[in-house]
Amino acid sequence: MRKVLFCPPTYFEVRDVKNPFMQPGDPVDRERAARQWHALRAAFQEAGFELESIPAVPDLEDMVFAANQTFVGKSPTIGRFIVPGHMRHHSRRREVPHFVEWFRQRGYKVVELALENDYLEGHGDLLWDVDFSRIWAGFGFRSSRGGVDSFAHAMRELGLEVVALELTDPTFYHLDTCFAPLTPGAVLIYPGAFSPSALAAIRDKCPRVYEVTRDEALRFVCNGVSANGRFLLPHLPASVAKALDCEGLQPVLVDTSEFEKSGGSVCCLKLFLE
């Protein structure tokens, strides 16, 4: 059974502005956040996943977004591995060692990249295709081009394909805010978030590209997650319902309103483990 890792929202808050969704002074209701987080875990469990947790750490207010600190992979040569991220914001860099330690204790190899002045933000920008045939890698706002290039080089050595995608709209600061793999050959995107060459690469690799409007994307529909024939997402506009129907995916609505105040929803709150 596939496993999925979460970090509880014990210390979650909106403290500073790291992305355009965040407004300090828009207080988080932690009890409500906790209820939403438990319901999200339950939705993954109902979709057939085994749940794992990493303890929250005081003062790390964004650690609840467990997708961003590491990239998790599996290769025929080295088996299960992680690539630790180098987060753009200082406050979030402190989250990474806690995740690296969690994985080390469970026997994952750690593939360290010399990122120095480059950035890589885990599965915020690095998304496995649903059939694990390739990794889509966004860059421009959080992960840098150099960060994605180093990552692509290391993955190529492990026999894994990386498709780099340039992001051009600062509102859609992570790839998972504007791009969601649905089924093999199908993705859901907000096209306005990508450079022309990124859009061409997506269309070249995917026979079925479903588009959403900017307003729909602002409601985090592209932050939905394909999970065992279901698609877990926070809102369901008619266009997305139609796309999911064409792909044979069952929509599952989950309320993530407290986390949206910080610029995150379903995809940001979970980390799939290989």
HEC states along 113-152?
CCCCCCCECHHHHEEECCCCCCEEEEECCCCCHHHHHHHH
Site for ligand ARG in 61-120 (CB under 6 A): 62, 65, 67-68, 92
Write out the binding residues for ligand ARG, residues 118-147 only, by CB under 6 A. Answer: 124
Torsion of CA 185, 186, 189, 192, to 10 degrees: 50
The answer to whether residue 19 forms part of the interface with ligand ARG (CB under 6 A) is: yes
Q: Pick the closest to residue 75 from 137, 157, 158, 163 (CA basis).
A: 158
Exactly one of 180, 187, 264, 270 binds ligand ARG (CB under 6 A); which one? Answer: 264
Q: Which residue type does 261 have? A: K
Of 17-25, 31-39, 42-50, 130-138, which segment contacts ligand ARG by CB under 6 A?
Answer: 17-25
Q: With respect to ligand ARG, which residue has the nearer C-beta, 121 or 247?
A: 121
Q: Which of 18, 219, 230, 270 binds ligand ARG (CB under 6 A)?
A: 18
3-state secondary structure of 106: coil
Q: Which of 86, 123, 174, 235 is catalytic?
A: 174
- Taking CB under 6 A as the criterion, the residue among 176, 247, 258, 260 binding ligand ARG is 176
> Which helix or strand (DSSP H or E) is residue 220 part of?
none
Does residue 174 have an active-site annotation?
Answer: yes
Residue 183 touches ligand ARG, criterion: CB under 6 A: no
**What is the DSSP annotation of 145-176?**
HHHHHHHHHHHHHTT--EEEEEB--TTS-SGG
Residue 268 binding ligand ARG, by CB under 6 A: yes
* Contact set with ligand ARG (CB under 6 A): 18-19, 22, 62, 65, 67-68, 92, 124, 174, 176-177, 262-264, 267-268
